[in-house]
Structure 1
Amino acid sequence: MLLHIPQVLSKAEVAGLRAELSAHDWVDGARTSGAQAAQLKRNLQFPADSSAFAGLSQRVADALARHPLFVSAALPRHMLPPMFNCYRGGGQYGNHVDNALQRDRFSGVQVRTDVSTTVFLSEPEEYEGGELIVEDTYGEHEVKLAAGDAIVYPSTSLHRVEPVTDGARIAAFLWTQSWVRDAWQRKMLFDLDMTILKLRGQLGDSEEVLSLTSTYHNLLRQWGE
Structure 2
Amino acid sequence: MILHIPNVLSKEQLIECRKLLDNAQWIDGKLTAGSQAVNVKSNLQLAENSETLRYLRTIIINSLNTNPLFISSAIPNHIISPFVNRYENGGAYGNHVDNSILYDATVKKNFRTDISCSLFFTNPEEYEGGEMVIEDTFGTHEVKLPAGDMILYPSTSLHRVEPVTKGVRMVSFMWIQSMIRSAWKRSMLFELDNTIQTIRGKYGETQEAVNLSIHYHKLIQEWAEL
* Equivalent residue, structure 2, for 1:68: 68
Deviation at 1:213, TM superposition (A): 0.3
Deviation at 1:34, TM superposition (A): 2.4
AA of the residue aligned to 1:47: A
**Cα deviation 1:133-177 (Å, max 9, x = unaligned):** 111113210110000000111111111111100001001110010
- How far apart in 2 are the matches of 1:91 and 1:120? 16
AA of the residue aligned to 2:61: A
User: Where does 1:88-167 land on structure 2 (aligned, <5 Å)?
Assistant: 88-167=88-167
* Equivalent residue, structure 2, for 1:204: 204
Deviation at 1:105, TM superposition (A): 1.2
Deviation at 1:65, TM superposition (A): 1.1
AA of the residue aligned to 1:140: T
**Cα deviation 1:54-109 (Å, max 9, x = unaligned):** 11111111111111000000000011111100011111111111001111111101
Structure 1 segments of 4+ aligned residues over 6 angstroms from their partners: none
CA contact (8 A) 2:43 2:86 kept: yes
Q: Secondary structure at the match of 1:30?
A: helix
* Equivalent residue, structure 2, for 1:43: 43
CA contact (8 A) 1:58 1:82 kept: no
**Cα deviation 1:29-54 (Å, max 9, x = unaligned):** 00111232111000000111112221
CA contact (8 A) 2:180 2:224 kept: yes
AA of the residue aligned to 2:192: L
User: Where does 1:173-192 land on structure 2 (aligned, <5 Å)?
Assistant: 173-192=173-192
AA of the residue aligned to 1:146: P
For the pair 1:220 / 2:220, whether they are aligned, the reply is yes
- How far apart in 2 are the matches of 1:133 and 1:39? 18
Gaps of 5+ in 2: none
CA contact (8 A) 1:101 1:113 kept: yes
* Equivalent residue, structure 2, for 1:56: 56
- How far apart in 1 are the matches of 2:164 and 2:12? 25
- How far apart in 1 are the matches of 2:24 and 2:139? 39
- How far apart in 1 are the matches of 2:166 and 2:51? 30
- How far apart in 1 are the matches of 2:116 and 2:184? 15
Q: Which moved more, 1:125-134 or 1:13-22?
A: 13-22
CA RMSD of aligned residues (A): 0.9
* Equivalent residue, structure 2, for 1:87: 87
Q: Secondary structure at the match of 2:172?
A: strand
- How far apart in 2 are the matches of 1:34 and 1:83? 14
The aligned length equals 225
- How far apart in 1 are the matches of 2:35 and 2:189? 37
* Equivalent residue, structure 2, for 1:11: 11
